Structure 1
Amino acid sequence: MAKVVCVLYDDPVTGYPKKYARDDIPKITKYPDGQTAPTPSAIDFNPGELLGSVSGELGLRKFLEKAGHTLVVTSDKDGANSRLDKELPDAEIVISQPFWPAYMTRERIEKAKNLKLIVTAGIGSDHTDLQAAMDKGVTVAEVTYCNSISVAEHIVMMILALVRNYIPSYGWVIKGGWNIADCVERSYDLEGMNVGTVAAGRIGLAALRRLKPFGVKLHYTDKHRLSKEVEKELDLTFHPDVESLVKVCDVVTINAPLHPETEHMFNDRLISKMKRGSYIVNTARGKICDRDAIVRALESGQLAGYAGDVWFPQPAPKDHPWRTMPHHGMTPHISGSSLSAQARYAAGVREILEAYFAKKPIRTEYLVVDKGKLAGVGAHSYTAGDATKGSEEAAKFKKEKVKA
């Protein structure tokens, strides 16, 4: 029987909801490209419940324990004395979410002698050292497409919040003010602007489709060019590289996976090529941007705003400069963890586990690493290597929380 270690974020500080804001959520059975939503044999939760925090357990306990497996659920994931590290030596499966990632470094993978499977409850498996997983024959899987639309919606929200200066305006209301001039001195219309996405995969393309009705000029760059039909439908301008795109765009949204080729892509040099007063929205991965270069660009005015819900490391230490830099619209990593998305990625995790325990193939589109090489979505979107360096900084948040 297998030991499954599941790392999830903490429960609400006010306690688990006694009643939810809505009674149900829409049922999604297919995604825009025709891929079916997760199809486990059954689920042990009500869609719309909070599943991604510790008490939610991704709805897995009944299923796993009935089959004789052991489930350990914890939010304590960072530092040598964390619960995760203590449970790793005999763990066969490790599950975590990108929002509260279990950083599976080479050191941890080597420590987990029985480890066979690492599952991302969501999309984006850069918190795992993919090269180490390949070297050790560990399978890595994620629930592809489960929350792509959730993130695309978040992108549109953040673009509008930045360009229309929504957050400071809301702040004046809270403070009891009616400071119209202060609110509109940095407020513009999105209409007519040039908006570009770095990567036009599931999330990037969904964001472009949602932005089209705003009357903007759309641009994209991607190593996999979209079809002529899609380019014509959305009136897209293709750019062969990121630099060509950022030079002409007023708003840039980053939707690329994190791997060695994209790490710190948005550095001082690239940001200097952007139009003065442009905006960046990053819901991909925090490490795609050079942390301090973003701060410098906001302070100098090269960037008019930066918004995102991805940081590095996660959780971000309290002294992370993105918390206090000017003109930002940062949130914790929440774009892909709406209650709607949780229902899909919890079901997807169960589907993956059902296949694994039955010794049946895991869906190809869910695979990142399999049989010692990149596979499925991994072969399409990632490059071999390790993007976990520096993740030990996440332990600072834990220490600060203990002091508080």
Structure 2
Amino acid sequence: MAKQRLNVVVTRRLPEVVETRLKELFDVDLRDPDTPMTRDELAAAMRRADVLVPSIGDRIDANLLAGAGEKLKLIANYGAGVDHIDVASARQRGVLVSNTPGVLTEDTADMTLALILAVVRRLPEGMALMQAGQWQGWSPTALMGGRIAGRRLGILGMGRIGQAVARRARAFGMQIHYHNRKRLRPEVETPLEATFWESLDQMVARMDIVSVNCPHTPSTFHLMNARRLKLMKPSAVIVNTSRGEVIDENALTRMLRAGEIAGAGLDVFERGAQVNPRLRELPNVVLLPHMGSATLEGRVEMGEKVIINIKTFADGHRPPDLVLPGML
């Protein structure tokens, strides 16, 4: 007798090729239209699904998990970060959690360098001038930014993405510094010509550019708080392509407005889509709508990882990208 196909509920629209493959393999409930599920919709999905495929906008806390049906056995997250899922509560209820690590490394590192260039070279100001039809021709002193070659880049979080940022920054002639929970092995650190700082305070006080590339965990919440932001040089720039919660956004906004930090490039925000309106008004800030992973190749590869995790689970094996509470 043929094995019964798993019921898979997907909370957001995915690339068409991914949705097509999911339909071939499983009984799939796809999301239409592409809007976030309400909490009630998410609760209902968790009651009827064998496998839930959520994304970063879906807050899956202990209360939601407590109301999940007995069917739910796997949360196959579409994304690498799982800070929106209470992994420990899921495990207690016998629900596995998987993610999609590694596939977005290069795309996110590209975006980090793009933000550094955009802020330091004042690209959005130049674009706005052109789009408004206000450019009067070349001027020796107009829109002068800075040269990034020779600048000290401090990378906060030296995992896959941090190392990819370091490789790119070296090609631009930047000096690489980093703070991490653990120092990299010499065979990794030496080719990057990277300097390890055990003290984050000491590192940020000496950097020209700080790049946030660490995940959001209880220990990294507001890691760049008001006190630490004040250690930065007034000429320094901060960029974040990781998680908005790592930076105290209100403190950053105040300091940018006061000229105590020269600029910021942000792809993520502390309260998701609710961006501080004062932040949007500042000319020395580049804001992007969480585009770090927004390449077709990356999003398809994320989907392929989700499918492999579900298929492996369906075949009675441990998903290759299983997330354990101790990993967080």
Provide TM-score, normalisation by structure 1. 0.74
Is 1:64 paired with 2:6? no
1:325–1:95 distance in 2 versus 1, CA, 3 Å: farther
How many angstroms apart in 2 are the aligned matches of 1:96 and 1:162? 33
Structure 2 residue matching 1:367: 3-state secondary structure? coil
Structure 2 residue matching 1:368: 3-state secondary structure? coil
Tell me how far 1:91 sits from its aligned partner: 2.2
Q: 1:252 aligns with which of 207, 210, 213?
A: 210
How many angstroms apart in 2 are the aligned matches of 1:86 and 1:255? 34
Residue aligning to 2:281: 324
Q: 2:266 aligns with which of 286, 301, 308?
A: 308
Q: Check the 8 A contact 2:18/2:300 in 1, yes or no.
A: no
Q: 1:5 aligns with which of 9, 22, 27?
A: 9
Residue aligning to 1:164: 121
How many angstroms apart in 2 are the aligned matches of 1:350 and 1:183? 54
Deviates more, 1:129-138 or 1:210-219: 129-138
Percent of pairs with identical residues: 27
Aligned-residue RMSD, C-alpha: 2.2
Tell me how far 1:183 sits from its aligned partner: 8.2
Deviates more, 1:164-173 or 1:219-228: 219-228
Residue aligning to 2:36: 77
Deviates more, 1:107-116 or 1:174-183: 174-183
Larger RCO: 1 or 2 (CA < 8 Å, sep 6+): 1
How many angstroms apart in 1 are the aligned matches of 2:140 and 2:252? 24
Tell me how far 1:231 sits from its aligned partner: 2.6
Which 5+ residue runs of structure 1 have no aligned equivalent? 10-50, 383-404
Deviates more, 1:89-98 or 1:266-275: 89-98
Query: For residue 231 of structure 1, what is the amino acid of its counterpart?
Result: E
Tell me how far 1:188 sits from its aligned partner: 0.7
Structure 2 residue matching 1:307: 3-state secondary structure? strand
Provide TM-score, normalisation by structure 2. 0.90
How many angstroms apart in 2 are the aligned matches of 1:70 and 1:185? 52
Q: Check the 8 A contact 1:77/1:84 in 2, yes or no.
A: no
Which 5+ residue runs of structure 2 have no aligned equivalent? none
Q: 1:133 aligns with which of 54, 72, 90?
A: 90
Residue aligning to 2:249: 291
Tell me how far 1:318 sits from its aligned partner: 6.5
Residue aligning to 1:177: 134
Q: 1:359 aligns with which of 292, 296, 316?
A: 316
**Pairs within 5 Å for 1:4-403:** 4-8=8-12, 51-52=14-15, 58-65=19-26, 69-74=27-32, 75-77=34-36, 79-81=38-40, 83-98=41-56, 101-114=57-70, 115-178=72-135, 184-185=142-143, 187-314=145-272, 316-317=273-274, 320-363=277-320, 366-369=321-324, 373-374=325-326, 379=327, 382=328
Query: For residue 23 of structure 2, what is the amino acid of its counterpart?
Result: K
Query: For residue 128 of structure 2, what is the amino acid of its counterpart?
Result: G
